[in-house]
Amino acid sequence: MKRRGFLAVTAAAFVAGCNKIADSDAGSKLLGAAERWHKGAHRLLTNREALAPEYPRSAISPFFRGNGSTDPQNGDYQAQAAENFANWKLEVRGLVENPMQLSLENIRRLPQRRQVTRHDCVEGWSAIGEWTGPQLSVILDEAKLKPEARFIVFRCADNLNGQDYYESVDLIDAYHPQTIIAHKLNGEPLPIRNGAPLRMRIERQLGYKHAKYLTAIEAVASLDDIGEGQGGYWEDRSGYQWYAGI
Amino acid sequence: MKRHALSTRIWHWLNLVCLVVLFMSGLTISNAHRRLYWGDWGFAPEQAWLIVPRFPDWMTIPGYYSLAVARDWHILMAWPFALLLLFMWVAMLVNRHFKRDLMTSRSEWKPGAIWHNIVQHLKLNFDHEGGKFNFLQKLAYGLVLGVFLPMMIFTGIAISPGMEPTFGWLVDLLGGRQSARSLHFIFAFALFGFFVVHVVLVVLAGPIGQIRDMITGGKSDEA
């Protein structure tokens, strides 16, 4: 028992030291820098167009788990769901020459990409599904980004713990060929659990980047004034890494 | 010549710090989803081969449940851990520590010789005939440096979705992402097992002299 106590005390002292470092200015800068080194290494080793693995349809998992919001109760989401999202609008706004409002019908009529990919949650689990939708790049080209646009922000209908969900990526991931606005999972309209009627697929990053219940795509020059400035709901709320490719 | 080269001593202690931080933050990451799977995917209990117990907060970094902070530490310490291991391998090959002290000879693999070695170990007789390390030590250090530690890096790379477009072959070789995640966990605990045995043996062999030599380098080849 005494030895166990010694171990616990040593661990506590070590953890306290780590937390002291993490809370210091230099420490938190270092922790943030490490995330950028990984992103730099990934970008150095990987072609910007390189694809995440795609699987045959036979690899699709029997169920696709949902995390975070799985049935939003806020705003008029439930009313929209009741009418099968017939009046859902996706706004394209911000630093674009041609702001747009797209209906689901508009989105279905764009050239479609179908991909069977693996979804990795930050918690550790994975599921495989087939997603269908237009590439984000097609819509961005249509809207014409202004030269000062550097990030794409995804606005969502769900409000989780009192804050509206949102996410963001840089232009490399926004223009990646597998970055699509999915309206189908495994050939069927998206289930509410998985983000009906529209969700993002950012295939080279973890699940929290794949914004669900998508209402708007916004081109911005900086993330500082969006939400609390960290680039996403979980980034603001819990300090998750903005670059979720690790 | 000192008992332990300067490069070995620097690596040994810095690597210890890296491993402790990586292991303790890894326990928090394990707590985030306490199931392990084989293959590409898995998310539910019926697919799991192991339900991992929840590790108590005092064993973890940051000492309370925060997946984000644990990932910050894990992501940071992965860098010195990997670069130091590369440094140690280069140093071991250049100063011939690997060839001289760690490489086993064919005669050491004879069952009789292995058995003799095990018996001597169990009798806590740590005098080795010739060479710096006996067979079991060579085997343990060789496995740690050549398999366990590198596998932590390879399985870690294979779990990163941003690495997969380039390292998809590695993910396939390891049997899919969830297999790579399981292996990451298994090798982490293999290293923990080594750590426990290593510390016990150092204590039995005279901890003050052993630790002193790993700091100062010790006297010339007295072992």
Residues 6+ apart with CB under 8 A from B182: B36, B37, B38, B49, B50
Domain containing residue A132: 53-238
Number of domains in chain A: 2
Kindly determine whether residue A45 and residue B161, on different chains, have CB atoms separated by under 8 Å.
no
Q: Which residues in chain A are closer than 8 Å to B21, comparing Cβ atoms?
A: 18
Q: Are strands B35-36 and A214-220 parallel, antiparallel or unpaired?
A: unpaired
Residues of A in contact with B78 (CB under 8 A): 34
Q: How far apart are the first and last CA of chain A?
A: 39
Whether A16 and A95 share a structural domain: no
Q: Looking at the domain assignment, is residue A16 inside a domain? A: yes
The residues in A 87-106 lying below 8 A from B, measured between CB atoms, are: none
Q: What percent of chain B has pLDDT above 90?
A: 78
Rg (CA), chain B: 19
ipTM: 0.93
Q: Global pTM?
A: 0.94
Task: Determine, yes or no, domain membership for A81.
Answer: yes
A215 touches A101 (CB < 8 A):
no
Per-residue pLDDT tens over the stretch B80-101: 999 999 999 999 999 998 988 8
A29-38, pLDDT tens digit by residue? 999 899 999 9
Q: Give me the pLDDT at residue B133, please.
A: 86
CB-nearest partner of B178 from A16, A126, A240: A126
Q: Where are the domains positioned within chain B? A: 6-216
**Cβ pair B44:A65 closer than 8 A:** yes
Cβ neighbour number for residue B49 with a 10 Å cutoff: 12
d(CA A93, CA A218): 5
Q: Write the CATH number for A134.
A: 3.90.420.10
Q: Is residue A244 part of a domain?
A: no
In chain A, count H helices and then E strands. 7, 11
Q: Are A127 and B43 in contact (CB under 8 A)?
A: yes
Separation of alpha carbons A245 and A36, rounded Å: 11
Q: Which of residues 118-147 of A touch B (CB under 8 A)?
A: 118, 120-128
CATH of B6-216 given 1.10.645.10, 1.20.950.20, 3.30.450.20, 3.20.20.70: 1.20.950.20
Tokens encoding B209: 């002299």
Same-domain check for residues A190 and A110: yes
Same domain, A98 and A26: no
- Has residue A246 been placed in a domain? no
CB-CB neighbors (< 8 A) of A20 in chain B: none
Whether residue B177 contacts residue A118, with contact meaning beta carbons closer than 8 Å, is answered with yes
- At residue A195's C-alpha, the angle toward residues A193 and A199, to 5°, is 155
Q: Are A222 and A167 found together in one domain?
A: yes
Interface membership of A58 toward B (CB under 8 Å): no
Residues in chain B whose beta carbon is closer than 8 A to a beta carbon of chain A?
A: 20-21, 24, 29-30, 32-33, 35, 37, 40-44, 58-63, 66-69, 71-73, 75-76, 78-79, 159-166, 168, 171, 177-178, 181
Q: How far is CA A16 from CA A10, A20, A33, B62, in A?
A: 10, 6, 22, 8
Flag whether pLDDT at B1 surpasses 80: no
Q: Please check whether residue A219 lies inside any domain of the structure.
A: yes
Cross-strand bridge partners of residue B35: B51
Locus of tokens 């795509």: A217
Answer whether residue A88 is part of any domain.
yes
Closest residue by Cα to residue A212 from A55, A64, A56: A64
Whether residue B10 contacts residue B88, with contact meaning beta carbons closer than 8 Å, is answered with no
Residues A39 and A131 in one domain: no
Please choose, from the candidates A54, A245, A28, A246, the residue with its C-alpha nearest in 3D space to the C-alpha of residue A132: A54
Give CA separation, A141 vs A95, A100, B142, in Å.
12, 12, 55
Residues A81, A142 share a domain:
yes
DSSP three-state, residue B79: helix
Burial class (CB in 10 A: 0-12, 13-18, 19+), B130: exposed
Smallest Cα distance from B184 to chain A, Å:
12
* Whether residue A77 is found in the same domain as residue A178: yes
pLDDT in tens, A203-246: 999 999 999 999 999 999 999 999 999 999 999 999 999 999 99
Residues of B in contact with A12 (CB under 8 A): 58, 63
CA distance A232 to chain B (A): 13
Distance CA A100, CA A108 (A): 15
Flag whether residue A9 sits within 8 Å of chain B, measured between CB atoms: no
Backbone angles phi, psi at A180, to 5 degrees: -125, 160
Q: Are residues A27 and A68 in the same domain?
A: no
Helix B207-216 crosses helix B177-204 at what angle (to 10 degrees)? Answer: 110
Residue A160 forms beta bridges with which residues?
A163
Chain B contact for A13, CB < 8 A? Answer: no
Does A19 fall in a domain?
A: yes
Describe the crossing of helices B164-173 and B177-204 by its angle, rounded to 10 degrees: 70
**Of B41-50, B132-141, B166-175, which range is least confident?**
B132-141
Do A29 and A61 lie in a common domain? no
Residue where the block lists tokens 């998206």 = A190
Dump pLDDT digits (tens) for A78-118.
Answer: 999 999 999 999 999 999 999 999 999 999 999 999 999 99
Residues A150 and A214 in one domain: yes
Residues A39 and A64 in one domain: no
User: Could A22 and B66 be called an inter-chain contact, meaning their C-beta atoms sit closer than 8 Å?
Assistant: no
Do A5 and A69 share a domain, yes or no? no
Look at A241 and B60 and tell me if their CB atoms are within 8 Å. no
